Amino acid sequence: MLNLNTGKCAILVFPIKDPVHISINYKLQDIPQVQSLKYLGVMYNEHLNWRPHIEYIATKAVRAMGVLRRLSNCRSGMRRKALLIIYKMYVRPVLEFGCILFSGAPAYKLRPLVLLEREALRLCLGLPKIRRKIQINNAKTHSKANCRGGVQQGDISGTSGCSEALTSYSTWTRWRLRSGRLGEQCETIVRFPRLFEKYPFPILINSACLKLAEVFRVGSNFLRMLVLKVVQQSERHLDKVLNIDEFVRRIFSVMYSNDPVARALTLRTLGSIAAIVAERKDLHHSIRSSLESHDAVEQEAAIFAAARFAAQSKAFAANMCARIGQMIQGLATPVDTKLRLLGVLEGLHQDAPTAALVRDECLHRLLPRYPSQSLVQATLRVLTRLAAATVTHIPSQARPLYLPLCICCGNQIGTLVEYLRDDPREGVKAQALDDLCLLATEQPHLWDTDNVHAVVQYALSTPYLNLKCGALSVLVLLAQSVAVDKFDLMPDGPVLQLCREGIFHHQVRLASASIRLLTHLAIHAAREDLLDLMPEVSSAIETLLMILCTQESESDDASHALRGCLRCIVLLCDADSDLCSQFVDVLGSFLSFWSGAAMLSVCEGLCALGKPAVWGAEPHRAPHPAASQHGQQGCHASHSSQGIGEHAVNSKQEWRGVPFPYPGRRFGRHGCLERLQNCAAGHSLRTLCGCCTSFLQPCQQGELGAAALLAGEPGELCRAEESLLVRKGQMQLTDALTHYVRAISALKAATTPAHALQFQAEYVRLRCEGVRAHAQLLQACSCLRTAPPPAIAASVASATRDELQKCGRVVAQLRKCSRDFKSLADQYGVLYQTLFDADPGTLRNVQLYP
């Protein structure tokens, strides 16, 4: 039998329109009818508008806020993390209790809870009272409420826009920088680089830089040092500073301080911002005056600033050249200061006269008068950097025999070779080899046969392993560049003698360098039909691989030698596809001897051998038995029809194919990637939303377009007229255009407000336009054969005063192609300008057309 306590019972009626009155009597006692009722902590009323409940939990939250307000006092010593934990334990549960029920209430009814939440977070974060509305997401203290059965999750205070976040950050940083606590100021300053990376907007960076400059002006030396670190870490954002005059004025005012450390920090800060203030004469004068300071710290900072300004300003470089030379030659200048001053001379290459003055100063005064090893090394480094930057004094010139060493040597390579040959100090020889490597990398076309022969002769004559390997590195850099035709490839010549002495050496470092040199020479000889060096270099590679797989310990030299051998194998197979089978068998037979990083390198090499450019149109081979035995089927199957990609396609777990696009594009497996993307897209139909499917579809179409471009070899279209007239190439370009247009459509379909693919779609569209421009260029060049100039071409040319009209209609088509390429370059330029916050790799990819 049911027993009720009428003192704890009440009647609450939820009428639809008119009020309803109900009278219930239980054991001669009336149960009262009420307008609101508390049940399980939730306040209900007859209209279900949740106003009583919101007022009730707001009253409870105010009482809980009292504890938080007392603990957030600066004298309590509570940290931010502890305050946030207290907030989550005492305040947040009160605010979120029953939120599923009242989440649909109007905003004006929820406003008391919003204000209490903001006040609590303000107390936890230590923000001023003038700005309560903070960006909770960025502070990572947002409170989420599960609304409507978990379908909608969000902050009960809503989300703020980007401008709201910037304003909040600006107010927060201003208040923290003006705080009297040194710790808060330091914490705020060191957060600026991350803030610049997150919000790289000019208005924010300009405001922040002005605040930092003010802190630099009135703060201590420790704060100035922190500001200097921030400026050095944010150099790529300095061009977004708008008020440059005010920014420089606040920093430069510290130069009038009596503290040499403060002046030194100011000089270093000015040097760090030299990219935007390089032409200011007052700064030039201050740096020049500080070079004469008797304080070592200030003078070192002035040398740093002079080096940065010399690299940016032509006027400063021309004015400081003579002054730097006088300081270097001064007897009172210490050796370490002279070395730093020589570093300033490296940047004095703004114009040819200044570079000539610096070269004359180094050759005629510094090298003869200061023969110490450190000064000679620094001087040679300066001469090499100047020669590489100005492209002067690099070609060979004869030196008269009656002139002393390097005094009238007209070329930098000759100077370095003479020091390499005649100077007995190993450090000077190593510096000369490093400088020769720099010239071989940046200016290989300016080397001649005598320079190459001199380096070869030195490599043959030196008994030291490090110097011989350094000389071989110079020769390898030349052999893989346009200077490869400067080598004397006589059968009994010194070049091949040097290679044959080193390829079978017991030192893997020397053997690897010799094999790399012989590989490039063999490829060049095969292209020019000079010699057949392929069997010799193949035998040397197999011998070195055998030595490497039998070594017990894995050293750095062995790892570099192995990767060098694998690169040589790929280069040889690119030049001669008949060697692919041989090297695949060799690597497969050695797989059981490698493990760890060496195994990964070998597998990467095998994948590189599987790209279409290496195998060409040959039939695919089955994987080697050793590879199957040791679980490395994927490595050898990279060149078979059932390789890694096919295994991923045929696998029951379709998402295994998703990680393959990047390495597949790297090794040219576009055809297999198209099937992988198709498989992943089909799987997404069963597991994901339509947006993900639309995102995978452009990847699939992009792979088809890239495969069509690879098969058509668009690079060959611009090399010879015959390749432009091939019908197959035109068909492949048309096929590529079709797939790229489909990729653009799919990207546009995948665009959502949360994921705007504007850059991706624009980049693919420009690539499609580039392919279309090349296809039109191909058709225009075909007119040279199919549409010869008409008989009236000469009269048309004389009438239009355009001599090119004598060539016929192809002139108009080629001019239209030129306009199309110019328009394409302009569009790439516009896209490049919009990517102000992109990484350098993306900028290099976008900067296709100068």
pLDDT band at 360 (very low <50, low <70, confident <90, very high): confident
Instruction: List pLDDT tens digits, range 252-289.
Output: 999 999 999 999 999 999 999 998 998 889 899 999 89
839 to each of 40, 754, 756, how far by Cα in Å? 55, 22, 19
Strands (E), 180-221: none
Residue 786, amino acid:
T
- CB-count burial class (<10 Å; 0-12, 13-18, 19+) for 616: exposed
**Average pLDDT, rounded, for the chain:** 74
pLDDT value of residue 229: 94
Cβ–Cβ < 8 Å for 657, 621: no
Residue 488 has pLDDT above 80, yes or no: yes
pLDDT value of residue 710: 38
pLDDT band at 380 (very low <50, low <70, confident <90, very high): confident
Q: What is the mean pLDDT of residues 359-385?
A: 82
- Three-state DSSP state, 11: strand
Instruction: List pLDDT tens digits, range 8-55.
Output: 788 888 877 777 777 787 777 777 878 777 777 777 877 777 778 788
Q: What is the mean pLDDT of residues 645-658?
A: 44
Q: What is the mean pLDDT of residues 65-74?
A: 76
pLDDT value of residue 687: 39
Residue 782 has pLDDT above 80, yes or no: no
Distance CA 276, CA 267 (A): 15
Give the whole-number percent of the chain exceeding pLDDT 90.
10
pLDDT value of residue 473: 92
Q: What is the mean pLDDT of residues 121-140?
A: 57
Phi and psi, residue 147, nearest 5°: -110, 140
Taking residue 234's Cβ as centre, other Cβ atoms within 10 Å add up to 22
Q: What is the mean pLDDT of residues 507-521?
A: 90
- Three-state DSSP state, 425: coil
H-state helical runs in 240-366 = 244-252, 260-272, 274-277, 281-290, 296-310, 314-329, 335-345, 352-361
The residue behind tokens 């306040």 is 43
pLDDT value of residue 166: 62
Distance CA 511, CA 528 (A): 25
Closest to 275 (Cα-Cα) out of 241, 235, 243: 235
Q: What is the mean pLDDT of residues 781-798?
A: 74
The token pair that represents 557 in the structure block = 């030299």
- Flag whether the pTM goes above 0.85: no
Instruction: List pLDDT tens digits, range 716-757.
Output: 323 322 333 344 556 667 777 787 777 777 777 777 766 777
Instruction: List pLDDT tens digits, range 596-648.
Output: 888 888 888 888 887 644 444 343 333 343 333 433 333 333 344 344 444 44
The residue behind tokens 């057309």 is 849
Give the whole-number percent of the chain exceeding pLDDT 70.
74
- CB-count burial class (<10 Å; 0-12, 13-18, 19+) for 723: middle
Distance CA 122, CA 129 (A): 8
Instruction: List pLDDT tens digits, range 174-205.
Output: 777 877 788 888 888 998 888 888 878 888 88
Q: What is the mean pLDDT of residues 747-776?
A: 78
pLDDT value of residue 681: 46
Residue 82, amino acid:
A
- CB-count burial class (<10 Å; 0-12, 13-18, 19+) for 453: middle
pLDDT band at 832 (very low <50, low <70, confident <90, very high): confident
The token pair that represents 458 in the structure block = 């030195």
Strands (E), 15-113: 24-26, 29-31, 36-39, 42-45
pLDDT value of residue 659: 46
